[in-house]
Structure 1
């Protein structure tokens, strides 16, 4: 399944030791770069509703498939997916387009990368907009160790790390079913499923809620993961404890102007102390689940563009 014609066509760009599949739109010579960073298990195409709105507002929109996703490189070493490499790719992308800094927008895991990028390279970030995942306080214990202590060995973050390759194979064998079950909206509000949630989703014959996207749109994601497999993206999870160590010397306070967009029906918890770490943050809440920019595209665009205009 090819990318629909109304979405930018990709270019493969060599940088930071990898090739990234990059979709871009808008005029570079007008400046105003904005980089959209997808989450897991996602694709640059998850920003399909935001790209035209941002271009119309005068932005040069840059949307990479980050390493491990789509046609971008997926290195064999797990440590090649740590926050230094992921942030380094985005810095190299700025260098490629000859930008000193940009506004970075992240959803889900993409938000985690944008938070980390801003800690590691604050001078290269102009503004921060993140969806679903708030800033994660570093704390006293590495993140996977902490999750294992709280939720046990079957919690999917922990299982990805402790049983390397098991979830990857099951998701690879059930790609369409997993993504069909994952990309849903209007899912009943229930506590997060315990244990190996992603494996359970991959094996479930009957999805909950309503489809998030059309069959043709879902096919873009399915085809991409059938070609890339899931290991590259899961390797992001396998670097959480490494990232905890890599961020030890970073100033934990982000002073940049920031916008945090939550879905009120998202199972990802809102931060109770976000202002302690991101003092210049504004918060928007939308009536939706986890896939915010796809579930509520117009409301998301309105929130982003209004906030950007307020910062000028």
Structure 2
């Protein structure tokens, strides 16, 4: 059995960093060509979440390349190298679904199909892409993020948090408020914020972030090194978020009313089922997206496979071998009808 390929480094020569113009916006993206061939088996498009970038897929991109796939991983709207429009409407899931579809049409042709994957906010987006652009997608997977159907009534997140129904989404109220980008402006501020989100603690176990409250500003100066990111990787994230700023990434948390209005036609049709083959990978120790949130989601799918990995929200980098094996098995069995392979 061959050893898995090593993860990407910030300046890895195995991939290209490119930009593309679609729908009046610029998107930066990583392009990974298949290893050992000029003809890719298929194209995998990977959508990151917050606070992350396309570099968050550093374990998956070379793995897919080694299997003969082409990989496209954009820096999403508002992130470094990609446009950051002033209007919130551009940040809606429908608008960004249309952006991703336009990227695929421009790079791959109008009749192409892709394998689509997402994590965190990227997971929310890929489920919506499967509703808005089903013909684009051969199969879709989400790591950590369960599916939530379009709703016929607006959701009052504050009421849900304060009533105790969604206490673990209190952080979203803070991230949407504007307080975070107002207070975290220097590279050192951003470094401490990223460290705590990527599981750093203080000398006595202090945490700088909680899913109930968000960023705990008084605790940030105590944060040590992230146990998840190498110093080189942390430097890359600090560079990206210093260059791009936090306003754009946090705009994703400010579009709930816009998304509701745009999705009313879907909700009014009745139950919305994802028609394409789908995979959900649950992280068993994800505080923001606990397993309880995925209960019953199978009723919204024609063909759903559910797997789990024993790790936190950062499953792709904390359990990369398990995640990659799940992705490989699902793609080869569900999308190509091959027997389950042995790694």
Asked if Structure 1 and Structure 2 have the same fold, meaning a TM-score greater than 0.5 normalized by the shorter chain, the answer is yes
Q: Deviations over 1:150-189 (max 9, x none)?
A: 213993323444x3x3222223342000001111289x9x
Q: Which residue of 2 aligns with 1:299?
A: 322
Give the deviation of 1:261 after TM superposition: 0.6
1:19 aligns with 2:30: no
Give the deviation of 1:254 after TM superposition: 0.4
Q: Which residue of 2 aligns with 1:34?
A: 44
SS at match of 2:94: helix
Q: Which residue of 2 aligns with 1:286?
A: 309
Q: Deviations over 1:34-62 (max 9, x none)?
A: 10100011000010111111011111111
- Structure 1's consecutive aligned runs of 4 or more residues displaced over 6 angstroms after TM superposition are none
Query: 148-157 or 31-40: which moved more?
Result: 148-157
The CA distance in 2 between the partners of 1:44 and 1:203, in whole Å, is: 28
Structural mapping, 1:115-154, within 5 Å: 115-143=127-155, 145=156, 147-152=157-162
1:269 aligns with 2:276: no
Structural mapping, 1:1-312, within 5 Å: 3-6=10-13, 8-27=15-34, 29-99=39-109, 100-143=112-155, 145=156, 147-152=157-162, 155-161=170-176, 163=177, 165-173=178-186, 174-184=189-199, 193=210, 195-197=212-214, 199-200=215-216, 203-207=219-223, 211-250=227-266, 252-267=272-287, 268-270=289-291, 271-311=294-334, 312=336
Give the deviation of 1:247 after TM superposition: 1.5
Q: 8 Å contact 1:178–1:203 — kept in the other structure?
A: no
Q: Which has the higher contact order (CA 8 A, sep 6+)?
A: 1
Give the deviation of 1:136 after TM superposition: 1.2
The CA distance in 1 between the partners of 2:120 and 2:218, in whole Å, is: 19
TM-score (norm 1): 0.89
For structure 2, list consecutive stretches of 5 or more residues without a partner in the other structure. 1-8, 164-168, 337-343
Q: 8 Å contact 2:284–2:290 — kept in the other structure?
A: no
Q: 8 Å contact 1:33–1:62 — kept in the other structure?
A: yes
Q: 8 Å contact 1:256–1:280 — kept in the other structure?
A: yes
Give the deviation of 1:230 after TM superposition: 0.7
Which structure's CA Rg is the greater one?
2
For structure 1, list consecutive stretches of 5 or more residues without a partner in the other structure. none
SS at match of 2:307: strand
SS at match of 1:90: helix
Give the deviation of 1:80 after TM superposition: 1.4
Query: 4-13 or 86-95: which moved more?
Result: 4-13
Q: 8 Å contact 1:175–1:202 — kept in the other structure?
A: no
SS at match of 1:87: helix
The CA distance in 1 between the partners of 2:154 and 2:83, in whole Å, is: 28
Q: Deviations over 1:42-89 (max 9, x none)?
A: 000010111111011111111110111121111111221111221111
The alignment of Structure 1 onto Structure 2 pairs a total of residues equal to 304
SS at match of 1:288: coil
